[in-house]
Amino acid sequence: MGNTGTNPIRFSLGREGLLVQEEKLEVQTQKKKLVIGIPRELDKIESRVSLTPEAVEVLVANGDEIIIEDDAGKAANYSNNDYSERGGRIVQNRAEVFQADIILKVAPLTLEEIKLFKGKQLVISSFHLNSQTEEYVNSLMQLKVTAIAFENIKDEHNFYPVVRSMSSIAGTTSILIAAEYLSNAHGGKGVMLGGVTGISPTEVIILGSGTVAEYAVRAAIGLGSSVKVFDNSVHRLRRLQNNVGFPVYTSIFHPRVLEKALRSADVVIGAVNLLEKGPRFFVTEGMVKSMKKGTVVVDVSIDQGGCIETSETRSQLDPAYIKHGIIHYSVPNLPSRVARTASIALSNVFLPLLLEISESGGVEQSLKYNTGFRHGAYVFNGILVNKFIGEYFRLPYQDINLLMAAF
């Protein structure tokens, strides 16, 4: 007999003849309107904003609501009008921003800010383990919050897009800073970073061979400097050379070789990833004393404690100092020095994620199907899901991959 229903019966050919196929139902996802809050950063060293006005315009056109605290983009030279003209709603009441369903922030949350939450929200911000407390994590868990550390988010190529973009900005900026402090503008010895015909090029030493180092190399060579790169991994040095695309002097960290190179250096960039095992200081105070007077040291690794023994953590208000005749610049969060560029880079990462959350029907669905986004989660619906944080604070944690199976 024929099928009298609206859907025909489908068959497949098996070993025993024709078999009836299972009917596959199309799963429809309902688009969800997002209410996103962008608070003003109160940290004095944080000038970035998480979304640009252009990104806000795209989200508003998508049907989402964006609540922006007064002057949230001012430090990055975005005015309230820039946001309001593109559909953002500017509010004076800080507490109102933290009532949004999604809180998008650059600097880590503070306990005072967490107290303004209504609960069961999504928070996307940075998370600095060494500056947080057990109380911080417990507060998020009690409020049933889902918290994402944006530095741990991965893209489709298994890279960390936020870390990579901020590192590339920091690397290039470190060379531009060195150029400033070599010149007369900041009391330097009046040397142009780079080289011109008939004049020996400046010598730049770069410690490390990650993304920061790679972009520092590109900037220094682009200006005409002679560059030497030191690291404790031949593999990473080879990778840097391949990425840069032209020959660069490289060496493993041999103290005597490094000390000899430092004696003639005009600029030293500290770009070592100190989260890895190894010596804390790659340049000792004795090595600094042997350097030429007026040499500029920029310790980008100061975010992790510094890789140069004479480095001191400074702020943008008082960034440089002289020790043993060497000009030191060691300020955490270099991307904030070029806040507008850094904000655009952050917004380029966050905008697609927010659109995906909306299209998929909510954060749970997005976390379920986007493993890179899931990698950034450390609290999910009030449950700690990051093993490293759990062991650090001795708190119970669960595997988020197992929790996702319930959705």
* Domains of the chain: total: 2
Planar angle of CA 75, 80, 86, nearest 5 degrees: 120
- 303 with 332: CB under 8 angstroms? yes
What are the DSSP calls for 309-364, one per residue? TT-----TTS-EEEETTEEEE--S-GGGGGHHHHHHHHHHHHHHHHHHHHHHTSHH
Tokens standing for 59?
């989200």
The domain boundary residue, chosen from 312, 332, 352: 332
Tokens standing for 150?
């944006």
Residue 17 falls inside a structural domain: no
Residue 23 falls inside a structural domain: no
The domain boundary residue, chosen from 332, 354, 388: 332
326 and 387 share one domain:
no
* Helix ranges (DSSP H) in 100-250: 111-114, 134-142, 161-182, 211-222, 234-244
Encode the chain (407 residues) as per-residue pLDDT tens digits: 444 444 555 555 555 555 555 554 445 568 889 999 999 999 888 999 999 999 999 999 999 999 999 999 999 999 999 999 999 999 999 999 999 999 999 999 999 999 999 999 999 999 988 788 999 999 999 999 999 999 999 999 999 999 999 999 999 999 999 999 999 988 899 999 998 899 999 999 999 999 999 999 999 999 999 999 999 999 999 999 999 988 899 999 999 999 999 999 999 999 998 865 555 799 999 999 999 999 999 999 998 889 999 999 998 889 999 999 999 999 999 999 999 999 999 999 999 999 999 999 999 999 999 999 999 999 999 999 999 999 999 999 999 999 988 76
Residue 226 falls inside a structural domain: yes
188 and 275 share one domain:
yes
Strand 320-323 with 377-380, pairing: unpaired
Residue 9 falls inside a structural domain: no
CATH number, domain with residue 230: 3.40.50.720
CA 189, distance to chain mean position in Å, is 34
- 123 with 98: CB under 8 angstroms? no
316 and 382 share one domain:
no
294 and 358 share one domain:
no
142 and 170 share one domain:
no
Determine the pLDDT at residue 304.
Answer: 86
144 and 57 share one domain:
yes
134 and 175 share one domain:
no
Nearest Cα neighbor of 259 from 220, 230, 238 is 230
- 177 with 298: CB under 8 angstroms? yes
Which 8-state DSSP code applies to residue 344? H
pTM of the model: 0.88
227 and 168 share one domain:
yes
Residues annotated as catalytic (active site), given as ranges: 128, 303
211 and 328 share one domain:
yes
**Domain hosting residue 373, numbered range:** 35-152+339-404
CA–CA distance, 304 with 300 (Å, rounded to integer)? 9
The domain boundary residue, chosen from 275, 303, 332: 332
Residue 13 falls inside a structural domain: no
Residue 30 falls inside a structural domain: no
Residue 159 falls inside a structural domain: no
Which 8-state DSSP code applies to residue 21? P
**Can you point out the beta strands (E) in 173-292?**
203-207, 226-231, 249-252, 267-270
CA 156, distance to chain mean position in Å, is 16
Tell how many helices (H) and how many strands (E) occur in the chain. Answer: 15, 17
282-311 CB burial, b ≥16 within 10 A, e <16: bbbeebbeebeebbbbbbbbbbbebbbebb
- 307 with 299: CB under 8 angstroms? yes
117 and 186 share one domain:
no
Structural Rg of the chain based on CA atoms: 26
179 and 322 share one domain:
yes
Tokens standing for 367?
């976390």
